[in-house]
Amino acid sequence: MAESFPTFRDAFNQPDPTPHLLKLIEANPQLPTITLLVYVYMDLVAESPTQIYKYADALASVRKSKITVAGGDRLGNPAQENIRHAFNDVFVGFHSFDLDNVKDKSVTPSNEFLVASLISAVSMMYTFCDSPAQVGALLRGLHYDDENYGDDVSSREILVLGACLQLLVAGSYLYGPKGTDVGRVDVLGALERIKAADIVKDPNGQQLLQVCDFNFGYIFPRLKIKVDYDSTSQGWLQELCP
């Protein structure tokens, strides 16, 4: 039997977080419990982004459980929903808020928008959710000069780098041979325009943009299967997010 841990944070820090997370959820199977779980996950990723796959693996295992949670339907009536639906609803809410705008314009590991972009990409990889806010943030970065998006010029560098993070981690989910948005966006053309316009000034950011451009310009067109960007992004992420 799994030992009881008082908080989700304690559970995540165990060698195998899954049984401890499940026990905490089973003790209070409510939608606010799932909200707290996802909040703690995001908080831990912000503290240590290179651990995101460990934490996401644990969430993916939890999501496979048969637990149902008490929530409500769209009319506000009490209702039970399976944990997969609860995950989707909670993640959509967080991504819609976190990817809405850029508050911090500095290229640092603690930049909230960059962390949110990383979390968003991993959400797509693990199919935790798929929300318009995620794709919208990506398009805002790629089409930095499109007045239809109306973003502040001072936000463009962070928007571009957020898009690069999403592309490197989950690009195949959207634009791979079997991606949901394949053929809809000229990703390589957008990246080349971004480089030519010298949008990214930060040295680490320029490295990220270069890696992203390389993947789409060289590796990506030559592969006939889904591309896994984890290995190509890992080194840069460890430098930016130690």
What is the pLDDT, as a whole number, of residue 25?
Answer: 97
Centre a 10 Å sphere on the Cβ of residue 191 and count the other Cβ atoms it contains: 24
Q: How far apart are CA 130 and CA 101, in angstroms?
A: 18
Q: How far apart are CA 157 and CA 151, in angstroms?
A: 11
Expressed in percent and rounded to 5, the helix, strand and coil fractions of the chain are 65, 5, 35
Selection from 162, 54, 52 nearest residue 98 by Cα = 162
What is the pLDDT, as a whole number, of residue 177?
Answer: 62
pLDDT by residue (tens digit) across 144-197?
777 666 567 889 999 999 999 998 888 777 776 666 665 567 788 889 999 999
Residue written as tokens 């769209």?
74
What global pTM score does this model have? 0.85
Kindly give the interhelix angle for 187-196 and 156-175, rounded to the nearest 10 degrees.
160
pLDDT by residue (tens digit) across 81-114?
999 999 999 999 999 999 998 999 999 888 999 9
